[in-house]
Amino acid sequence: MDATSTPEPEVVTFDGATTAVICAVVPVDELAGFFDHSFARLAAAISDQEVAIVSPAFALYHGPPTDTADLEVGFVTESAVQADNDVQAGSLPSGPLARTIHSGGYDELGSSWQRLRSWIDERSLVPGRDLWEVYVTEPSPDMNPADLRTELNWSLIG
């Protein structure tokens, strides 16, 4: 499997999830810094409230990014967190999703999203507004980017 190949997408039903998030509209070229700051801030706030994190980190986009991204970054939690400055309770939406796995570096995510959108269109499915990435493999500075795995989820209407 090369760095950008993915298994065949599938349609799944997602039950939704309670989350702890930081929301923002961020220029795309500033996303990496926003992610780094936000995930560190979230981990501290969630830990301080003694709420259990039950998933890898994710980013929920309210529409495909353009020059900016309207998004929430966070973690699925066992229960709702109390608002703490920029940290707030949120949720991942329930319903049907198109899902696939991206294998490789984050700089190649765009092509995997395009392939998922083409797969949706080829099946005459109707994409929803919300799409999210689950960072299955936690990145580290010394790892090979080809070892990263990111779950891609695109909400479907109907």
pLDDT tops 90 at residue 117: yes
The yes/no answer on whether domain 1-15+94-158 falls in CATH 3.20.80.10 is yes
| Whether the model pTM is above 0.85 | yes
pLDDT band for position 6 (cuts 50, 70, 90):
low
Distance between CA atoms of residues 42 and 57, nearest Å: 10
Higher-confidence position of 34 and 1: 34
pLDDT tops 50 at residue 9: yes
Nearest to 38 by CA among 54, 66, 19: 19
pLDDT tops 90 at residue 17: yes
Distance between CA atoms of residues 101 and 147, nearest Å: 12
Say if 1-15+94-158 and 17-92 have the same CATH topology.
yes
For the chain, the structural domain boundaries read 1-15+94-158, 17-92
DSSP strands (E only) in 28-113: 58-62, 68-76, 88-92, 95-103
Backbone angles phi, psi at 139, to 5 degrees: -70, 155
Q: Which residues contact 4 (CB under 8 A, 6 or more apart)?
A: 102, 103, 104, 108, 111, 112
Higher-confidence position of 144 and 156: 156
pLDDT value for 89: 98
Least confident of 16-25, 93-102, 134-143: 134-143
Tell me how many helices (H) and strands (E) the chain has.
2, 8
What does the pLDDT look like over 37-87, one tens digit per residue? 999 999 999 999 999 999 999 999 999 999 999 999 999 999 999 999 999
* Superfamily of domain 17-92, CATH level 4: Regulatory factor, effector binding domain (3.20.80.10)
